[in-house]
Amino acid sequence: MEITPRHIERAALRGEMRFDYQPKVSFLTGEVCGAEALLRWQRDDGSEISPETFVPLAEAWGVVSDLTEAMFPRFLADVSSIKAVHPDHRIAFNVSAHDLDAPRFIAMLHDAIDEGHVALDHLELEVTEGAVVSGKPSVLGSLQRLVADGVELAMDDYGMGFSSLDTLHRLPFSSIKLDQSFVLRVLHSAKSAVLVKLSIAMAQMLGIRIVVEGVESKAIYDSLLHSGCTAAQGFWISRPLPLEHYLNFLDEDPRWPASPIGLFRMAQLAHHWQERLLIDMVFAALRSDDPVHEIPLNFHLDENQCELGKWYYGIGEKFVGDPDFDALEKPHRAMHDLCTEVFKALRTGNRQRILNELLNEISENSCRVTACLHRLETRALIREAG
C-alpha cells in the first residue's frame, strides 16, 4: 500500500489509529509508575502499519500536527480511564517540533488542562532533542510557556545529539530518557556502561529524573538497579499494550526487583558534589577583589532546596524511623547554617574565621552526613544479599 497524506487523515478520523501504552517501572518500588503513549495504526483488515513508516511520512508531508490534534482527544479519554483506577500514574505524550509550532495544538493542550480534562500530575510531554534544538523561537517559546504553566517535560533520546548539555541548560526538564542505543550495550561495552552511569549521576545532581529505555533483559535491569535511575522501560518489562490490556496488566499488580541503594548512592554523590562546589566558590571568592559577587545568587542556603535536602525531605522520607536516616538532619542543617556564616564572613572580609573555623566545621559535619548515608547503603546491601 502506498501511503498518502489522505490515508493518514482518514485513518485518524475513522478510528483506525489508537494509542498503546508501554509501562514504566520504578526502581525504588518495583511497581508500574506510569506509561508512554505510543501511536499505532491498525487498518480495517487487521493489518498494522508501523509508526516507523507513517510517522516520518506525516512529518515530511507537514501533516503530523494535524494527526496529533486529531488523536489528542483520544489520548485524553484514555488518560481519564487510567487515572480512574490508578490516579498516581503519569502518562507521557510524544510531541514534535511541528506540534510545538502549531498554535491549535498548544491551545488544545491548555484548554484540556484548564477545563480539568487532564491534571498536571497525570501528564508529561516527551520532546525529542531535535525539537528543542530546531532553532525556531516559536518552538522554544511554546516549551517555556508550558513549563511556566507547570507542564512536566521529558527529553527523549537523550545522548543522541551533540547539544544535550546545552538543551538541559536552556530548559528545566523534569526527566530525561536515556537513549536505548546506550542501554542495550551496557553489558558488553565498558565505555557505554560509563556513559550511562555518568548520565545518571549528572541528571541526579541537576535534580532531574532519569528513565532508561531499551531494558530488553533481566540482566540489563539488574545491572541498573543500584545505579540511581528513576524508572525503566523496555520489552523485558512489557511491550506496548492497547488500553484495555494495559489496564488488565495493572490489575495483575506485577512486581519487579526494587532497591533503595541507588537513592543512597545518589544522595552521597549529590552531597559531595555540592560540598566541593561550595569550597571551590569560597576559595575563588577569597582570591577575588570583590568576593561577595563570586558566589552565585542562586546557590542554595536552604537545607530543603539543595539536592540532598530535596531527597531527605522528599522521597527519602520513607526511611523515617531508621536511626541513620534520622541522624542525617542535624549535621545537614548545621552545614547550611555554617554556609550562611561563611557568606557573612566573606562580606565582612573575615578570612581567618573562614579558614580556621568554619571550613573545618563544615568538613566535620559533612563526614557525619557521609557516614550516615554509607551505613544506610551498607545495611541495604546486606538485606538484599541475605
- Residues assigned a catalytic role: 213
Q: What is the largest CA-CA distance in the chain?
A: 82
| Inter-helix orientation angle 64-85/243-251, to 10° | 30
**Interacting residues of 211 by C-beta distance below 8 A, sequence separation 6+:** 24, 154, 175, 176, 177, 178, 229, 230, 231, 232, 233
What is the DSSP secondary structure assignment for residue 176, as one 8-state letter?
Answer: E
CB 263 within 8 A of CB 311: yes
SS3 content of the chain, % helix, strand, coil (to 5): 55, 15, 30
Buried-state track 204-223, b at ≥16 Cβ within 10 A, e below 16? bbeebbbbbbbbeeeebbeb
For cell 500530575, name the residue: 121
The alpha-helical segments, DSSP class H, found in 209-358 are 218-224, 243-251, 261-286, 307-312, 323-326, 329-348, 351-353
Provide the residue type at 331 as one letter.
P
